[in-house]
Amino acid sequence: MLEKVIPTKIYLQESELPKSWYNINAVMKDKHAPALNPITKKPVTFEELSQILCDELAKQELNMTDEYIPIPEEVQEFYKMVRPSPLTRAYFLEKVLDTPAEIYYKFEGNNTSGSHKLNSAIAQAYYAKKQGLTSLTTETGAGQWGTALSMACAFYGLDLTVYMVKSSAEQKPFRKAIIETYGGKVIPSPSNTTKVGREILEAFPNTGGSLGCAVSEATEKALNTPNCRYVLGSVQDHVILHQSIIGLETKVALDKYGIEPDMFISCVGGGSNFGGFIAPFVKDKIEGKAKYKIIGVEPASCPSMTRGKYAYDFGDTGKITPLLKMCTLGSGFMPSTNHAGGLRYHGMNPIVSKLYHDGYIDAVAVEQTKVFEAAVMFAKSEGILPAPESSHTIREVVDQALKCKETGEKKTIVFCLTGTGFFDLAAYSAYNNNTMSDYIPTDAELQKGFDTLPKID
């Protein structure tokens, strides 16, 4: 039955919460190309993958057939503590923009990790515990994932080592503090705790590190530690599977109130929130039944979709991880140091990449100062200080809403507000003080990244 009065914030009842995750791979007509063993160049097997990942996660990563995958009851209980997230009508933003557009946002930042990352972190820690593992390793850039996983590991009593991109660890002492409060051990990367870290330090003694390098260190550390696995917060299909909780809740809320979106918008870095947010809306898109648009928003400074190649590439600088067919700038691409927040990974999740390549979804790139302009407008009107990542989305939403103002169209826009900016106030200060700059890589600069692509295809 359709509910009549739509509240400003839609909170689902507990009985309406999803009991299964949604696996986009099952409904892809053309599946994305398989991950390859970086040495043999053959599709990775479960046996190979489970040396790095937990068994259940390796299984999920390779699952191309089951549309719904049950959420373990213990994870459902945890979700009840930190979820559902509200779907909020942005009445005040609409008013400030004076737009006929109707804007809704699914806010994933109302948990201590400050972002959607907790949705997957708790699932991954659960599977690790169930497998009898005692410790995990991971990497973190902006720090959202490291915080989320540290919370999840504290909950299940697992040891955690977080390789945190060195420049980020230095700029964000409080990110480090919160990870440590939850018991995680933070190691600025590159470090001398791994072979790959020592090699990078020798070649580039003053480097601030990169996500690709931190991935290499975390992977190496996991491989050399008993009862330990590497877990990661984006890029992989199983992460998108867990993040589908975002889209599934959104769909229940939209259907309950008969809201029919014209577009879904969210930011893309490795693709985790975006893939999860759009998950239940992809099938209709593939089958040509949907009239809505799906738009991914990326930073102009790290444009893996709008300006990347669709090719096999390494996930890490050290070239240890499986090769993925994806939109990529090359594992040697280094994002500009003036770039704030996350969304700085060279590649893109294979599902999202394939959907983009096949024309089912769109992508746009936005510039940093315009992103923060939208962020501050949103903060003042909607009362939430958005994360820089989420603010990319807001920029595009604002632009779409302003287009509606010009044309008079009353479009319905639904976006995912992935997180809060509590740990990004140095970037906000830079914006406030007019010391923030933009950066768009030249074609020549991008070419240097492309030159690091392996020759597979």
Q: Which residues bind a copy of itself (CB under 8 A)?
A: 5, 7-9, 11, 13-15, 77-78, 80-82, 88, 91-92, 110-112, 114, 118, 151, 154-155, 173-174, 177-178, 180-183, 376, 379-385, 420, 422-423, 425-426, 428-429, 432
Scan for tokens 């970037």, then name that residue.
Answer: 427
Single out the residue of 192, 212, 211 nearest to residue 202, CA to CA. Answer: 192
Residue 160 Cβ vs a copy of itself, minimum distance, rounded to whole Å: 12
Least Å distance between CB 214 and a copy of itself? Answer: 22
- 3-state SS, one letter per residue, for 147-206: HHHHHHHHHHCCEEEEEEEHHHHHHCHHHHHHHHHCCCEEEEECCCCCHHHHHHHHHCCC
Residue closer to a copy of itself by CB (options 9, 195) is 9
Nearest distance in Å: CB 216, a copy of itself: 28
Q: Which residues of 24-42 are buried (b: 16+ CB within 10 A; e: fewer)?
A: bbebbeeebbbbbebeeee
Q: What is the DSSP annotation of 238-290? A: HHHHHHHHHHHHHHHHHHHHT---SEEEEE-SSSHHHHHHHHHHHHHHHTT--
CB of 17 to a copy of itself, least distance (A): 10
Question: Which lies closer to a copy of itself via its Cβ, residue 175 or residue 346?
Answer: 175
Q: Which is nearer to a copy of itself, 174 or 204 (CB)?
A: 174
Query: Which residue, 1, 5, 2, 11, is CA-closest to 258?
Result: 2
Secondary structure of residue 301 in the 3-state scheme: coil
DSSP string, 198-246: HHHHHH-TT----HHHHHHHHHHHHHTSTTEEE--SSSSHHHHHHHHHH
Token pair for residue 7? 């509240």
Query: Closest distance between a copy of itself and the C-beta of residue 444, in Å?
Result: 36
Distance CA 360, CA 352 (A): 10
CB closer to a copy of itself out of 206 and 433:
433
Task: CB nearer to a copy of itself: give 63 or 381.
Answer: 381
> Smallest distance, Å, CB 402 to a copy of itself?
21
How far is the C-alpha of 247 from the C-alpha of 294, rounded, in Å? 12
Least Å from the CB of residue 118 to a copy of itself: 8
Distance CA 156, CA 237 (A): 23
Residue 82 vs 440, nearer CB to a copy of itself: 82
Judged by beta carbon, residue 315 or residue 341, the one nearer a copy of itself is 341
The nearer residue to a copy of itself, 377 or 440, going by C-beta atoms, is: 377
* Nearest residue (CB) to a copy of itself, 81 versus 444: 81
Query: 80 by DSSP, 3-state: which?
Result: helix
* Coil, helix or strand at residue 42: coil
Shortest CB 153 distance to a copy of itself, Å: 10
CA 119 to chain centre: 11
Closer to a copy of itself at the Cβ: 282 or 387? 387
Q: How far is the CB of 181 from a copy of itself (least distance, A)?
A: 5
CA distance 176 to 153: 15
CB 379 within 8 A of CB 358: no
Residue 13 CB, nearest distance to a copy of itself (Å)? 7
